[in-house]
Amino acid sequence: MQNSVLQKLTDLGLQHTTYYHQALFTCDQAQEMAPLIPAAQCKNLFLKDNKKNLYLVVAVSKTAINLKALSKYLQAPALRFADAQLLKHHLGVEPGSVTPFGLIFDTQQSITVLLDSMLFKQEYIGFHPLENTATTVIAPQDFFIFLGSCKNNYTVIDFEKIEV
């Protein structure tokens, strides 16, 4: 599966490098690999609300995400983590492998992407290429091009300014 993401990045003419490692399921585990991967560590949260809206939060791992405050900010009642079935259906991955690269499978553009403003202050950012045994590093401006090719609605958010 990861070949489809890497091919998409190549087809778009985007520079990327993939690093292979043991399976990483949490941000804490990713921090252990951080010295070996020259990119800002990122976290990705796949969420849903009571209106059946889907959201993908893409953030620098150090950014605090307050779901209650985000729910109010988005006017998304009962914002919470989506289940594994929705994750597999919309992003093509299992829990522990959430990645914005999975947007290649969201052909209906049903997911709204919420981008941490801190992403664009990094030299490089890294995400799993659909499997949590690798991290693909890309420049933020190239990630933005990738995102545009997926055609999902997105918004850039300064999560530090969202209040409960």
Left (φ > 0), alpha (ψ -120 to 50) or beta: where does 85 sit?
A: alpha
User: Can you give the residue ranges of every domain in the chain?
Assistant: 2-161
Least confident residue range of 18-22, 62-66, 116-120, 144-148: 18-22
Strand partners, 125: 40, 138
pLDDT of residue 164: 64
pLDDT of residue 23: 74
Q: Span 2-10, mean pLDDT?
A: 88
pLDDT of residue 34: 63
pLDDT of residue 86: 96
pLDDT of residue 133: 87
| Averaged confidence pLDDT in the chain | 91
Question: pTM for this structure?
Answer: 0.92
CATH superfamily name and code, 2-161: YbaK/aminoacyl-tRNA synthetase-associated domain (3.90.960.10)
pLDDT in tens, 127-163: 999 988 889 999 999 999 999 999 999 999 999 898 7
